[in-house]
Structure 1
């Protein structure tokens, strides 16, 4: 059955092809109307309608689309076709009654009045008359086009409008159309199907922004470059489908409604070039997990009293702006700045002012590089500093010791480096001065070297500690057993040696332990939380034995132990003690044999005489 239908469809397409190749598809009435329309204009040599010739199929003409069955013209796209002259009410254009799409944009119709006959295209879904020198009243008949989905009348400088438009509209563009007066709810905004509204650059639109007393489907709203004044009505942000809002370059003032907790998926919000400020209450800006792209929006600079700014998990790129110095008042209220998981590059700004009140700075997951600026030490209120997963290259920032409120430090997956064995004392000093209330330290995936300072055990408020994927060596400090609040400890992928301290069994809240891929030896401690850890906590340590590993501890454990420090040093030079012993023994035997031969042969004589005198 299905194959029969497919065969019938092929035959039908073949017949259509044969018919269209031997007969004109275009309806004769529409063919004549188009030729008459062409004749009413002066056209450039490069115009689309120069291809329109009598005796040819109009459906093959450039810019013309026809219905395959009836041959009527359903689409006419004459955008930027060099048409010059007025469109009169008796134009044969209005005889194309089957039009569904009409685009006359970017032509010069010489201040033609917009004819009411544009409202006669009953099937019209798309009408674009932008930048074509139409003037006068927008005819009310357009509101009768029940199928009209998009209407673009932008850049026609002298339009007048009662704004009585079709309720079927989805997209409406009236950019720079010299609209005048006050925008009210009943005009445009409450059209039931409207999703995209562009009304920028109408400098005679004034008064206050309308309050939304209706439910709309708007996703894009551009009212920039007008003369609106007053405050932003709270109802503006009840547009739960809104993804793009541009209110820039007006005379708006007052405060922004504190409604950013809603579920808007903003791609762009622009409030720049207004008089917004002096908020009675500090506000939160939360635009995380959206689709913001480009550089950090300039409208941020106008929000001087914001306390919480979250632009994380977007697609922002470019450098972090120098707000931090150029706008001293900006940071006077900002407590949280979260720009993590974007594509920001360059260095961390080097101009944190002493007056800032930052408590959280999260720049994790970008492409930042260069050294850390020492002006970060001016952030005396800082509690959380997350700079992980960047390309920052520096030594350990010892100057962070001045941040007495710091509780969480994340520097993971960067290019930090330091020789901890050389700087143990300075590290010890640093850890003594860093507050003991530290909650989380993550220095993983860097290039730190040397031993873990014993004073790490004094940070008794630690919940998370991650030193993994560095080049740390030496023993695990017994003092870590004092970190009784620790829930996560990761020392994996280092060069640590010795045994696992029994003191670590005091960590009653430890839920995650990773000591894998080191050079640890001996029996794994048992009891309490250690009874809950699996093999993957210890893998890659050939000298460990005991549960949960299948390898039992015993006398033969030594022969499977990982290399000691002595062996590691030998390995560094490329050979061990066995080749040395063999070489020494062989050399000694060879020397005795050669000595005997010398004495028996009596040569060389000076050596024989010397040995003989020693024997006598």
Structure 2
């Protein structure tokens, strides 16, 4: 036996020597060397690529073509592989090389190429002619990997036409933008083993029936487009599949049982779809399953106790569904499980006291209804790296943490958790992310001790009863790797004397901490900061700050009184600025609009004055509400094609209505209330007038003429009904955590809303001089929740079409000259909470039933012709009508209108004088209350108040 082994080893050595001898005797073919070198000269290297953007996919990124020198053997060049016998180039791997440019056609000269990998060069662009020529010439290609290159002009379809496709084993075109149709011609290629088309939304997948017995084992069609009613069952005949990823494809209905035919599956990803129904128990018939991801669907019910048959399962992701009740016991018996994510469901009950996990590295159970105490195993597993139990109902005391391998720890919003701060946290030296909400924890938290965690990158602390920043010694603590620090809603002490160092801190948030006085020097000294949020404190002075690195600044809701006229003139990269709700003075900072980066600017509720520059460029948000700006509205705002939120309300602008804003297709909020705007609003004819507008408030101005009917007809976004029971979608910039905010007037009460959802559709045209009738077109704005036309000069009847506004919560038509009866259709507005029809000339019975039975007298006062509940005037067969006094009535009393007018004038003068005295001294009190101090009480809703929380109530509670 030993002799046989020796002979084998000798033969291997002889073969290796022969191999290298052959390799050294064949150099690169001249035509291929020339093609490769020409390929190099047509491309450039983007050195900024190597700053860490692609560390996960490209851990060894390097500009490989730098080793290519003309006149040398191309077989020795990095990324080039030659056949050991013929010397032909058979492999080209230039992945992660930061290449930029159009791919030259010389690549098609490599006719013997078997493997081509140009992946992760996002600056590389394919042309259709080059692509087709390569497919035509390279007839022996077995592997094509072009992930993250630009193939937007390329069609997938020609792949099935070329002879090379029969030799194709691997095709990977992830996130390339390639288009065309994926059919069975490609999926059934005889030797195709791996097909990856992830992230190509332009690909149409059309495979209703697959009748081939293909060799395909690895298939990823996530984020593509599936035509018709197709679902994952289309692939049940691909019985060799081991890897099937179909996430984000819009599938709905139940998960098809035919997937149980794929008996060799080890990886199954159906996440990010719209699947409904219960957990698919038939998946337990897939004995080789290692990875299962059903997250981001709408699955519900209890997770069945079927995991005893999935003994090979290592990763299970069920997050963002509607699973309920307790987790099954068989789940905690999976010895091989390394990752468990059941976050954001409705799972309840306690966790078991013991588990069989030996290799668990990730446990994410946040956002559920779990209760009981936190079991010790969650804090002591030796292999655990990621633990998040936030947003649950755990109670009692938390024990010391001994999972020293932890890198991520989340314990937030567990309101019934009590006890002292855990000193063992300072021994978790591997932590990179730490989220602690300490609302019911006691004791002093010594912030400098967190510097022991030298790997810490992200630190979030909130609710500390006493967070001491000042060090008890003179030692300067350094947080070497910390790049994000959030200290929220805590009782921070010793913060002025803090002397810690943050050499790499980019993100700092200290909001909601009642901090006072001047912003301290240790914050001023952070040269690496790009994000600074000091909102909701009581700062009074910012002093000079090195703005030049910041791209986000939020100082809102403080007491700062600096002059900001030249506040930001050294700000180079600021994109988001929120200085709202302060006492800032001065004129509008001209240097802000000179920068090219500014996107969102919020200066509302300050003491700024003067005129605005007319040089605005490309803003997304501009909010100047509640200042003293004057002059004309800047027409350059019409050039801000991407603007979403424009709020210039409550200033002193004096101009006509800005018709030049009408074609801003992204504009969702337009507030011009409380200015000196005047004139008629032209009824321009266009289908694009304010098409995206959700909030339109031009109240408290001097507009006249008829209501802008053409605008109302084109408010397309207000015709869309949003489900307020579902998670609200807000008008925000998710990238920057910036929330659009506004001051809205609801029932003549100004409220500040810090978040604005798409469902918050309101129109306020009140307190102007509008005339004429109310257009029926308002009835088409089905998304409206608030409509205010009060205090104008409107005439005619209340349109019956307003009964179509079934989402309406507030309707104010008071103080006009409306006539006729109250349409009975309004009684169908089940969500109506605020109604004011007072001070009009309405007649007839008040509708009964539903919400109308809950309104009080003040909703109808000043309409002498109305009768019925809740008024004391009963309705008879002869409904009371308002009538003008006749000449006969004048003769009866012996005088006409002239004596009455004279007497009225005299009485008015006397009354004004008497009233001035009464209100000056405040007595008699009963008279002051009767005429001047009457307050409208909020009506009781009774048993008919609707079940859902109104949007108004929701935002007030924020």
Q: TM-score, normalised by structure 1?
A: 0.47
In our comparison, the structure showing a higher alpha carbon Rg is 1
Highest RCO, 1 vs 2 (Cα 8 Å, sep ≥ 6): 1
Q: TM-score, normalised by structure 2?
A: 0.32
